[in-house]
């Protein structure tokens, strides 16, 4: 019996994907300018990253503000009772997990450094600064990159679920590259000055257009070169 022929797109028409530079050039006009602004002190950012795990930005912001209102300073949080910390951050969810972690991490930093000033990390080479933070419990590659990039202006690429999904759909990273591994892969694609804008461009695109269940390929400026665009309806229902 004759074998059925596999249907393949002709080589010349297959989309090869866009480079990181092309992605930034195409998204810049819509989402830029990408100006870096320090959000929080690095120790505050560290606590914020723990609060932001498995919850929305809005809830983690509320939890952080309540924590600071309740205790007044991170030093006071480090001395505080876990139950009181949990109560303060309950709006962010998983308070029974996050509260002891926050207290533990703050006290480890105090033991190691004698204070909660993490600005010294900016003086270290990037890989060493990442490694220092990743020794802390609950601080993975994304949290470390967020602290270094957002608070200290270092060229660390933070890969959250949006950045990971968009990068895979665009073919910037392979389909089997984990979010953890994607940090270094994506970081190496751009210059240090471009890491922050690259992160913001991808995360914004993931939130607004290349959404998880229904990407809006029909209105995406990257569609002409995106290898995944054919896999989704041209005009996704909103
Ligand atoms: S074309 Fe579709 S899948 Fe590709 S980046 Fe744009 S929205 Fe995402």
pLDDT of residue 6: 42
All domains in the chain, ordered by first residue? 13-34+158-231 (1.10.1670.10), 42-152 (1.10.340.30)
Q: Token digits for 3?
A: 């074998």
Residue 223: band (very low, low, confident or very high) from pLDDT cuts 50, 70, 90: very high
pLDDT at 190 over 80: yes
Q: Token digits for 219?
A: 């209105």
- Helices 195-208 + 20-31 axis angle, to 10: 70
Residue 1: band (very low, low, confident or very high) from pLDDT cuts 50, 70, 90: very low
C-alpha 150 to ligand 1 mean position (Å): 26
Distance CA 202, CA 186 (A): 11
Atom 2 (ligand 1) nearest CA: 217
Distance CA 109, CA 78 (A): 10
Report which of 107, 102, 144, 139 is spatially closest to residue 124, judged by C-alpha positions: 144
Residue 148: band (very low, low, confident or very high) from pLDDT cuts 50, 70, 90: very high
Distance CA 25, CA 142 (A): 25
pLDDT of residue 24: 93
pLDDT of residue 33: 79
pLDDT tens-digit series, residues 39-97: 899 999 999 999 998 888 899 999 999 999 999 999 999 999 999 999 999 988 888 99
C-alpha 159 to ligand 1 mean position (Å): 18
Report which of 111, 155, 108 is spatially closest to residue 130, judged by C-alpha positions: 155
Nearest atom, ligand 1, residue 209 CA:
7
Half-sphere exposure of 162 (CA within 13 A, CB side): 16
Coil, strand or helix: which one is 94?
coil
Q: Is 217 in the pocket of ligand 1 (CB under 6 A)?
A: yes
Q: Is 215 in the pocket of ligand 1 (CB under 6 A)?
A: yes
Q: Do the Cβ atoms of 186 and 173 come closer than 8 Å? A: yes
Distance CA 222, CA 16 (A): 12
pLDDT of residue 93: 86
Distance CA 200, CA 130 (A): 20
Q: Calculate mean pLDDT across residues 141-156.
A: 96
Distance CA 42, CA 154 (A): 12
On average, the pLDDT of the chain sits at 89
Residue 38: band (very low, low, confident or very high) from pLDDT cuts 50, 70, 90: confident
Atom 8 (ligand 1) nearest CA: 210
C-alpha 174 to ligand 1 mean position (Å): 15
Q: How far is CA 205 from the centre of its chain?
A: 13
pLDDT of residue 230: 79
Residue 10: band (very low, low, confident or very high) from pLDDT cuts 50, 70, 90: very low
pLDDT tens-digit series, residues 118-145: 999 999 999 999 999 999 998 999 999 9
pLDDT tens-digit series, residues 164-175: 999 999 999 999
Nearest atom, ligand 1, residue 215 CA:
7
Distance CA 75, CA 51 (A): 17
Q: Is 226 in the pocket of ligand 1 (CB under 6 A)?
A: yes
H helices, E strands: number in the chain:
12, 0
């Amino acid at each position: 019996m004759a074998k059925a022929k596999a249907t393949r797109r002709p080589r010349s028409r297959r989309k090869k994907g866009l480079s990181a530079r092309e992605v930034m050039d195409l998204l810049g006009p819509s989402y830029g300018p990408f100006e870096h602004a320090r959000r929080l002190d690095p120790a505050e950012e560290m606590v914020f990253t723990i609060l932001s795990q498995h919850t929305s930005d809005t809830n983690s912001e509320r939890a952080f503000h309540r924590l600071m209102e309740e205790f007044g300073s991170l030093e006071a949080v480090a001395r505080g009772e876990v139950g009181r910390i949990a109560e303060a951050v309950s709006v962010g969810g998983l308070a029974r997990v996050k509260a002891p972690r926050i207290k533990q991490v703050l006290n480890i930093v105090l033991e190691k450094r004698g204070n909660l000033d993490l600005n010294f990390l900016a003086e270290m080479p990037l890989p060493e600064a990442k490694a220092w933070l990743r020794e802390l419990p609950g601080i993975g590659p994304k949290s470390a990159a967020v602290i270094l990039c957002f608070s200290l202006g270092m060229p660390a690429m933070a890969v959250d679920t949006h950045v990971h999904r968009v990068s895979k759909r665009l073919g910037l990273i392979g389909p089997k590259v984990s979010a953890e591994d994607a940090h270094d892969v994506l970081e190496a694609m751009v210059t240090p000055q471009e890491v922050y804008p690259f992160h913001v461009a991808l995360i914004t695109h993931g939130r607004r257009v290349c959404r998880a269940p229904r990407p809006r390929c029909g209105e995406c400026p990257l569609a002409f070169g995106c290898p995944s665009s054919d896999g989704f309806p041209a005009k996704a229902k909103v």
